[in-house]
Amino acid sequence: MGQRHPLTSNSALETTIDKILNNTEKDILSNIKLALGESQQKLEDSIPKLESEYDKIISDGKKEADKIEKQIIGSSDIEARNKQLMILEEAVNRVFTKALDQIANADKSGDYSNLIKTLLDESTQILDTSEITVFTNAKDRDVVQSALSQFSGAELSPDTIDCLGGIIVKSKDGAMTFDNTIDARIERLKPLIRKDIASKFGVGN
């Protein structure tokens, strides 16, 4: 049995190594190509989803912008309306103050006596009795006292009240009271007058 030459042995080894390296290189390139193909496919598959998400982001952004725009416009409208109401309220208060001054300084003779009778008629009808005690201010005592002569069972209280004019009527049993002073009547009319003025100026209630 002969001995193999070392040069022949090395050549065979190199050939074997080259084959292994070539096969490995092919496997690696094949795997890389396969991975690249899969990545490209995944990227292509994901494009519709990305486009859909992009469209949704744009749509949501537009909706939010519209919402903010409406909120800004709404806030401006409310602020403008509040200013209108404040101006209206100030104007109404000035008118009422002026009217109250005129009433306080008005001549309380003639028609004023008829007004007191009307207030007494109204008060006895609301309380459904003429058995009443009537309160008024110091200035109106004589006028009220004179008018009471037409109301059987009614009497003038020795106590006076602080008001512009008119009367407060209390049933003698103390169960019912009706404030029919000019002050109270104006206060009751205020909401209606304010509403009418606001309506004329298009401000609303």
Contacts of residue 150, Cβ cutoff 8 Å, sequence gap at least 6: 117, 120
pLDDT tens series, the chain, 205 aa: 445 555 556 788 888 888 888 888 888 888 888 878 888 888 888 888 888 988 998 899 899 999 998 888 888 888 888 888 888 788 778 877 887 888 777 776 668 888 899 999 999 999 999 899 999 999 899 999 999 988 999 999 999 999 988 999 999 999 999 999 988 988 888 888 778 877 777 765 5
Placement of tokens 């949704």 in the chain: 56
Which own/partner contact pairs does 148-153 have at CB distance under 8 Å and 24+ positions apart? 148/120, 150/117, 150/120, 151/120, 151/124, 153/129
DSSP per-residue letters across 140-166: THHHHHHHGGGSTT-EEEEEE--SSSE
Per-residue CA distances from 162 to 117, 145, 157, 165 (Å):
20, 17, 14, 9
Rounded Cα–Cα distance for residues 178 and 147 (Å): 18
User: Which pTM was predicted?
Assistant: 0.55
Rounded Cα–Cα distance for residues 202 and 198 (Å): 6
The pLDDT, as a whole number, for residue 141 is: 93
3-state DSSP assignment of residue 167: strand
The pLDDT, as a whole number, for residue 1 is: 45
